[in-house]
Amino acid sequence: MSESTASHRAWRCHAFGDYHTLSMAEVASRAPGAGEIKVRNRAFAVGFPDMLMVQGLYQYKPPLPFTPCAEFAGEVLAVGEGVERFKPGSRVMGTIRAGAAAEQVVTAASDCMRLPDNFDFAHGAAFIIGYKTAYVGLVVRGNLKAGETVLVHGAAGGVGLAAVELATAMGARVIGMAAGTAKLNLVLAKGAAAVIDYAAGSFRQAVKAWTDGRGADIVFDPIGGDVFDESLHCIAPFGRMLVIGFASGRIPTATVNHALLKQYSIVGVRAGEYGRVYPEGGRQVHAALERWAASGKLTPHVHERLAFEDLLNGLDTIAARRVMGRVVCELP
């Protein structure tokens, strides 16, 4: 069968709204263009932003119909003009703004990394977005230094666990916040020095107690809402409040006189956009992440491995907020 007439299976979204309306379909395959690679997909991650995108609630709305999900890992089938880093047969992990829930993925070679020998395909599919967000937030925008204290909210999620693991590996003291014993134990296993259960209610006094009254040097916040509000009362002087997202559903506001008096910074973090705005910086981040992945010090936690056909079950798990780390669908 020729490249122009070949097809493959993919999940498709035909209308924004309930993700249960997603369906499997045969879609036309295509050859990679200049700077692109075509990958035989072996695993793709399912995340909270993917659910929001299908619901039409994400900041990026792809044209309909589209294939959801953004992270994958697999083997290169073909490379486009100008691609020298990969060749057919190379094992890669990569990202695409939408299109990973498919048997084949064509994406920019610059959005892919070599899959390290210590990762299987599921680990590769669960790595880039979480750890890139953690790296851009903590290192590039947060200027994390060894010995500092980092308060990580949503610490048992994919991005939160990546932040816990990276900050710990860089010599920081991590306080991880999550809900429930199982999640707290996982956060401790990933290196946190202390954990706080959201079920306990207010957390500012606990954070101050763990920091001898000083507060956290960096707050890593993918939740927003009330969590953001209270975090401003337990951030250290000259601290950095990293705004990662708003999983709570409420976008908070801050009074700038409080920032002036306590001399902290509120820093927006959009890891994918960072590389689009500053390509050289994006390449540096990818190179650093490849080194970290190969080092064996950072390993994504795969909460559940599902079949390609079980995407909706994965989204159900995410909607119920039961996920620790990442959900991954695997393909043969």
* Torsion sign, CA atoms 251, 255, 261, 266: positive
Amino acid identity of residue 310, one-letter, is D
pLDDT band per the 50, 70, 90 thresholds, residue 5: low
Same domain, 135 and 93: no
Domain assignment present for 76: yes
Spatial CB neighbours of 52, under 8 Å, sequence gap ≥ 6: 58
Range of the domain at 42: 7-127+300-330
> Is 50 exceeded by the pLDDT of residue 2?
no
Domain assignment present for 250: yes
- Domain of 206, CATH number, reads 3.40.50.720
Domain assignment present for 159: yes
227-284: pLDDT as tens digits: 999 999 999 999 999 999 998 889 999 999 999 999 999 999 999 889 889 999 999 9
70-123: pLDDT as tens digits: 999 999 999 999 999 999 999 999 999 999 999 999 999 999 999 999 999 999
The 8-class DSSP code of residue 40 comes to E
Amino acid identity of residue 214, one-letter, is R
Same domain, 174 and 261: yes
Domain count, the chain: 2
129-138: pLDDT as tens digits: 999 999 999 9
pTM for the complete prediction?
0.93
For the chain, give the percent of residues with pLDDT over 70: 98
164-191: pLDDT as tens digits: 999 999 999 999 999 999 999 999 999 9
Domain assignment present for 278: no
Domain assignment present for 295: no
> Is 50 exceeded by the pLDDT of residue 1?
no
> Is 80 exceeded by the pLDDT of residue 3?
no
Same domain, 304 and 210: no
Same domain, 120 and 143: no
- Domain of 62, CATH number, reads 3.90.180.10
Quote the CA–CA distance of 145 and 143 in Å, as a whole number: 6
Same domain, 53 and 160: no
> Is 70 exceeded by the pLDDT of residue 125?
yes
